[in-house]
Amino acid sequence: MIRGCVIYRLKLLDFENEMALPDKELHQVHLKESSEIEIVSCTPSNSEAPFLYREGRETREVYMYNNNFSYLDAIFIHDELFNISELKEYYNIEPGR
């Protein structure tokens, strides 16, 4: 699990978790008030919670590209303060494929 608060310029590259998750109800990545985030070429395992949780008005410029999300039920959720236009997705394999 990756948790971050007030992170600036993070690149998560080739993240894989092939082992069983300790708690399948936790998000694998949780970002709060963070900006310039790149999630690239990741293959997360399935869990009961969406892979990514974004929180806060200052969470912006989140880029997700070339990821394999085929094992997931849902990719992300966010709180009411996150502006969905701050998420940019390119060339990801969608859940259930």
Mean pLDDT for the stretch of residues 45-62 = 91
pLDDT over 70 at 97, yes or no: no
Read off the pLDDT of residues 14-50 as tens digits, 9 standing for 90 and up.
998 766 555 677 889 999 999 999 999 999 988 778 9
Query: Residue 26's pLDDT is what?
Result: 82
User: What share of the chain has pLDDT > 70, as a percent?
Assistant: 93
pLDDT over 80 at 57, yes or no: yes
Rounded CA-CA distance 31/56 in Å is: 9
Let me know: does 61 contact 33? Beta carbons within 8 Å: no
What DSSP designation does 43 have? Answer: B
User: What share of the chain has pLDDT > 90, as a percent?
Assistant: 73
Query: Residue 20's pLDDT is what?
Result: 58
Rounded CA-CA distance 88/65 in Å is: 8
Q: Which of 31, 29, 4 is nearest to 15 (CA)?
A: 29
Read off the pLDDT of residues 71-83 as tens digits, 9 standing for 90 and up.
888 999 999 999 9
Query: Residue 46's pLDDT is what?
Result: 80
Half-sphere exposure of 63 (CA within 13 A, CB side): 15
Let me know: does 57 contact 84? Beta carbons within 8 Å: no
Strands 35-40 and 2-5: unpaired
